[in-house]
Amino acid sequence: MTVPEDTERIKSCCAAAYGNDAVALVLGESYHPGGLVLTRRVAEALRLRPNQRVVDVASGPGATARLLATEHHVTVDGVDLGESTVANARSTTEKAGLGDQVRFHHGDAECLPLPDNVADALVCECAFCTFPNKEAAAAEFARVLRPGGRAGITDVTIAEQELPEELSTLAGWVACIADARPLQDYLRILADAGLQTLRTETHNDAIARMIDQIDARLRVLRMTSANRLTEAGVDVDAVLKHTGLARQAVADGLIGYSLLIAEKV
């Protein structure tokens, strides 16, 4: 699949969507399937050690960065495309007393604002599939990792069959579906960047649960906080239509969720 011509529009829409307060209301603290439970699984697979330096790509509200700093005593550089998202993550992290361990940077995954060979490990949760130029992002992962450093990625995967047309729209990009790839495509992209995959795991149940949670929360919010959703520009009926399509695609085996660990060679 080629990089779409409206790349900047896609990036802008994703950054705006995930910086929206309504997203936190619907998704909770962790913006990815499996939540912090799966984050801990990634950290375990990365074999993090105290005082290591970790890069969190598409760090969102900073929940993962704060967990890694607290539970593994590492320092973390979070990078996110949304300026308001970065500002909020910094504020929350300072209030948590973790400002010396966790730093957030405004930047693009395809051009990380960090030096070469600076990180012992890198995490990227449910975001690689949204990057228009995945090859460029993978090359950046490899660039900032030290030799032998590991990348832990969790992401949406799709079967070889085409997704329903409604899931291939701009809304599908924002929802981490439209440009998801088969797992083997991710492995190839990483390998071409110099990242050798050591381990893969399937966690399809995580994405199924998240779809159900989003659906349930939206229905409750429509009854209790309709004005807030309207002010945030959330079309509940449209989102529920997408969750229904996504749920069926998961049931049909068209959409899954995987964890992979790759090492810089």
Give dist(CA 21, CA 12) in Å, integer: 16
Task: Tell the burial category of 231 from Cβ atoms under 10 Å away from its Cβ (0-12, 13-18, 19+).
Answer: exposed
Give dist(CA 123, CA 58) in Å, integer: 9
Which pLDDT value is given to residue 162?
Answer: 67
Which of 12-16, 97-101, 165-169: highest mean pLDDT?
A: 97-101
Whether 11 and 132 have beta carbons less than 8 Å apart is answered as: yes
Average pLDDT, the chain: 85
At 210, the pLDDT band (50, 70, 90 cuts) reads confident
Which carries the bigger pLDDT value, residue 235 or residue 17? 235
Number of structural domains the chain divides into = 1
**CA 246 from centre of chain:** 17
239 domain residue, yes or no: yes
For residue 211, pLDDT beyond 70:
yes
Give dist(CA 54, CA 144) in Å, integer: 10
Helix, coil or strand: residue 61: coil
Give dist(CA 185, CA 111) in Å, integer: 21
Whether 79 and 59 have beta carbons less than 8 Å apart is answered as: yes
65 domain residue, yes or no: yes
Task: Tell the burial category of 261 from Cβ atoms under 10 Å away from its Cβ (0-12, 13-18, 19+).
Answer: buried
**CA-CA distances (angstroms) from residue 256 to 75, 163, 203?**
31, 12, 7
* Residue 195, domain CATH: 3.40.50.150
Which of 19-28, 156-165, 205-214, 215-224: highest mean pLDDT?
A: 205-214
Which pLDDT value is given to residue 86?
Answer: 96
2 domain residue, yes or no: no
pLDDT, tens digit (0-9, with 9 covering 90-100), for 15-39: 444 445 555 555 555 567 888 999 9
H-helix or E-strand containing 40?
A: helix 35-46
31 domain residue, yes or no: yes
pTM of this structure: 0.82
200 domain residue, yes or no: yes
For residue 4, pLDDT beyond 80:
no
Give dist(CA 219, CA 200) in Å, integer: 35
Mean pLDDT of 104-121: 97
Range of the domain at 210: 7-264
pLDDT, tens digit (0-9, with 9 covering 90-100), for 141-182: 999 999 999 999 999 998 876 666 666 554 444 446 767 899
249 domain residue, yes or no: yes
Which pLDDT value is given to residue 176?
Answer: 63
Q: Please, how many CA atoms are within 13 Å of residue 26, restricted to the half-sphere of its CB?
A: 29
Q: What are phi and psi of 62, to 5 degrees?
A: 95, 10
Beta-strand relationship, 119-125 and 145-158: parallel
1 domain residue, yes or no: no
Mean pLDDT of 65-74: 98
